[in-house]
Homo-oligomer: A and B are copies of this chain.
Amino acid sequence: VTVEACSVVPIGVLRTCWPDRWGVPRQAGLVPASWAVLELASHVPTDAIRGLEASSHVWLITWMHAVRGTRWTVRPPRLGGERLGVLATRGPHRPSRLGLSAVTLVEVDAPGRRLVLSGHDFADQTPVLDVKPYVPWADAIPGASTSWAPAPPAATPVRFSEAAEQAVAAQPALRALIAQTLAADPRQGSRDWSRVVVRVEAVDVAAIADGDTLLIERIVPWEARRDP
């Protein structure tokens, strides 16, 4: 069997709380405090989203633009080194570069041609190829299972240093987003498990491993890092 390439024009691009892919969790739903805004591309009429507010959740098929290269086999973090075929996992290094996520639809802003989403796993600037309503009787399959991933990964305990706590004292929503982002453990897939730096919104968050806990040492605006 040989086949020709299929070409899809994105219906829009996402702005999200994670400026690069390093803070992105491994599945949608792990970070409820996450937010994203899909702005419709200019060729898509506003009518195309008419009635979408009837859905509590939507599927997004995305183009994982930040992922580099295909790996035909991968090591899912929870399997501790065992290799599976990439098509047997939800890992990002897929031949298609297609992402699939069920996310919460917070708001349909039709005049603004925008969808507001939460509980996602999208890096900023991710193109969106399709939006589909979540249809429970077709999508939520009783008894369906993938035996090696029966439950969400356990949340990593997170602590804020005094300095980190002060840095977000006036921003409780950002604090929650940072805490959930680190609890989803963005060290997965990295070689250095002793420390992690991730960008969340307009800040860099630096944490170190402290036993089983991730200790957030510093929360610093990007600008400060660029021009110290």
Interface set of A (CB-CB < 8 Å, partner B): 1-13, 27-29, 39-45, 47-52, 54-57, 59, 61, 63, 72-73, 83-90, 94-98, 100, 102, 127, 129-152
Q: Cβ of B140 and Cβ of A87 under 8 Å apart?
A: no
Distance in angstroms between the alpha carbons of A95 and B132 in the assembled complex: 12
Q: Given A130-B94, A145-B56, A61 and B63 touching (CB < 8 A)? A: no
- Find the B residue at minimum CB distance from A11: B95
Q: How far is the CA of A202 from the CA of B139 in the complex (A)?
A: 30
Q: Are B12 and A1 in contact (CB under 8 A)?
A: yes
Q: For residue A54, which residue of chain B has the nearest CB?
A: B147
Q: Which of B12, B135, B138, B145 contacts A55 (CB 8 A)?
A: B145
* 9 nearest A-B residue pairs (beta carbon): A51-B84, A50-B85, A52-B88, A51-B88, A140-B140, A3-B10, A57-B144, A96-B130, A27-B138
B72:A47 contact, CB within 8 angstroms: yes
CA distance A5 to B61 in the complex (A): 14
Q: Which residues of B contact A39 (CB under 8 A)?
A: 1
- With A52-B85, A56-B144, A89-B133 given, can you name 5 additional A-B contacts, CB distance below 8 Å? A5-B10, A29-B141, A51-B84, A90-B135, A136-B146
Residues of B within 8 A of A12 (CB): 1, 3
B130 touches A146 (CB 8 A): no
- Shortest Cβ distance from A120 into chain B, in angstroms? 11
Please tell me if the beta carbons of A1 and B140 are within 8 angstroms of each other in the complex: no
B88 touches A133 (CB 8 A): yes
User: Could you say which residues of chain B place their CB within 8 Å of the CB of A6?
Assistant: 7-10, 63, 97, 127, 129
Interface contact B55-A133, CB-CB below 8 Å: no
A48 touches B73 (CB 8 A): yes
Q: How far is the CB of A168 from chain B (nearest CB, A)?
A: 28
Q: 14 interchain pairs (CB within 8 A)? A: A2-B42, A4-B10, A5-B7, A5-B9, A6-B7, A11-B96, A52-B87, A55-B145, A89-B133, A90-B135, A95-B130, A102-B144, A137-B151, A138-B152
- Chain B nearest CB from A48 CB (Å) reads 4
Write out the residue numbers on chain B whose beta carbons fall within 8 Å of the beta carbon of A28.
138
Asked whether A146 lies within 8 Å of B127 as measured between CB atoms, the reply is no
